[in-house]
């Protein structure tokens, strides 16, 4: 297809093909590395029977093969149709004002650093700053192989327990924020959206004040009347750009809605997000009186809270995928 005359006249139409090509090339390369590592290990195993000094090289080869097997396992766990897609990630603070808004910004930093460490790119689609600190809401697009498949483990309520930096009395506070993750529909998924089914409202962009505040009604909010799904964007100064981005988010939400209708278990997990409060959290990040991050769905734990908040969430993602795979077998 890529070699056909005129194939590159519309590069955007080739994006899904190029993504699939990259995925297959990466899969072939991983299988070649897996086969080579296994062959090398067998050679070192034979040498170790005759020479004890070969044991250290054998141990290194075992570690390399183990890492490749884990990578292959992740590939098998990310087998759903939408897992390979880019992701749209939204963060909303719960009740609690500045405290919760600061927690939402901490989560934003965690996911941004996680994406950087996996060579995934992030694009800010919508951002509403907090009144004093943090964010009131933020929407990101995360691009790269299996972005949605990896990030779907993050959907739900996240709870933080810490000594508040905003409390002069030094009291311990509990804050909540909701994270939603949906697959980006992209341009290759056909979604029929009738113009008559949309209500498009424009308003002035919100901000912390000052000269940068947009004085024209460039922000756009689109409501899909049959479903009640809402998407908005206010990042750009151009109303046209904001409308285009809001439509992309709307398409992704409608695509996600259809996926959830086909998956009752996934629909039930989404319903768990209704209350951003006690008892509904999927993961708790405790900074005081002890330090621990615990995922309540899998009982997976990590004591290095700073590393987790710095983006090291791979263990939680892997354990979640294993847990989901075990439930659906």
What ranges in the chain are assigned the alpha helix state H? 11-48, 54-77, 98-117, 147-151, 239-261, 264-271, 305-309, 314-328
CATH topology of domain 83-329: Alpha-Beta Plaits (3.30.70)
Three-class DSSP category at 301:
strand
Q: Which residues of the chain have pLDDT under 70?
A: 1-17, 19-20, 23, 188, 206-216, 263-279, 327-329
Phi, psi (degrees; rounded to nearest 5) at 131? -70, -40
Between CA 126 and CA 251 the distance in angstroms is 15
What is the torsional sign of CA 275, 281, 287, 288?
Answer: positive
- The pLDDT, as a whole number, for residue 14 is 60
- The pLDDT, as a whole number, for residue 12 is 57
Look at residues 312, 313, 307, 18 and name the one whose alpha carbon lies nearest to residue 144.
Answer: 18
CA atoms within 13 A on the CB side of 259: 19
User: Are 148 and 259 in contact, with CB atoms under 8 Å apart?
Assistant: no
Between CA 317 and CA 150 the distance in angstroms is 6
156-163/281-286 β-pairing: parallel
Domain ranges of the chain: 7-77, 83-329
What is the torsional sign of CA 249, 253, 254, 259?
Answer: positive
Per-residue model confidence as pLDDT tens digits over 186-208: 776 778 889 999 999 998 876 54
Between CA 13 and CA 9 the distance in angstroms is 9
pTM of the entire predicted model: 0.74
- The pLDDT, as a whole number, for residue 279 is 58
């Amino acid at each position: 297809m890529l070699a056909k005359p005129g194939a590159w006249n519309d590069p955007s139409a080739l994006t899904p093909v190029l993504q699939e090509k990259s995925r297959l090339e990466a899969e072939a390369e991983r299988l070649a590395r897996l086969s080579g590592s296994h062959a090398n290990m067998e050679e070192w195993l034979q040498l170790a029977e005759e020479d004890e000094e070969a044991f250290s090289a054998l141990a290194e080869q075992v570690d390399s093969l183990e890492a490749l097997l884990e990578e292959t396992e992740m590939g098998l766990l990310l087998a759903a149709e939408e897992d390979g897609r880019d992701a749209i990630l939204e963060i909303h603070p719960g009740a609690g004002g500045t405290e919760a808004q600061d927690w939402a910004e901490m989560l934003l930093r965690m996911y941004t650093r996680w994406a950087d460490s996996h060579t995934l790119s992030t694009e800010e689609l919508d951002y509403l700053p907090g009144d004093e600190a943090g964010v009131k809401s933020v929407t990101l697009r995360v691009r790269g192989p299996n972005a949605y498949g990896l990030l779907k483990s993050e959907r739900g309520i996240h709870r933080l327990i810490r000594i508040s930096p905003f409390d002069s009395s030094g009291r311990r506070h509990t804050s909540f924020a909701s994270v939603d993750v949906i697959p980006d529909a992209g341009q290759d998924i056909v979604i029929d959206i009738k113009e008559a089914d949309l209500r498009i409202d424009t308003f002035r962009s919100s901000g912390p004040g000052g000269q940068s505040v947009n004085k024209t009604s460039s922000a756009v909010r689109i409501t899909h009347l049959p479903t009640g799904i809402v998407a908005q964007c206010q990042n750009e100064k151009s109303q046209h750009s904001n409308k285009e981005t809001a439509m992309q988010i709307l398409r992704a939400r409608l695509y996600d809605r259809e996926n959830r209708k086909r998956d009752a278990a996934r629909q039930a997990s989404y319903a768990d997000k209704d209350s951003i409060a006690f008892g509904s959290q999927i993961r708790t990040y405790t900074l005081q009186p002890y330090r621990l991050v615990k995922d309540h769905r899998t009982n997976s734990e990590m004591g290095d809270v700073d590393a987790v908040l710095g983006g090291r969430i791979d263990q939680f993602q892997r354990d979640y995928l294993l847990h989901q795979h075990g439930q659906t077998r």
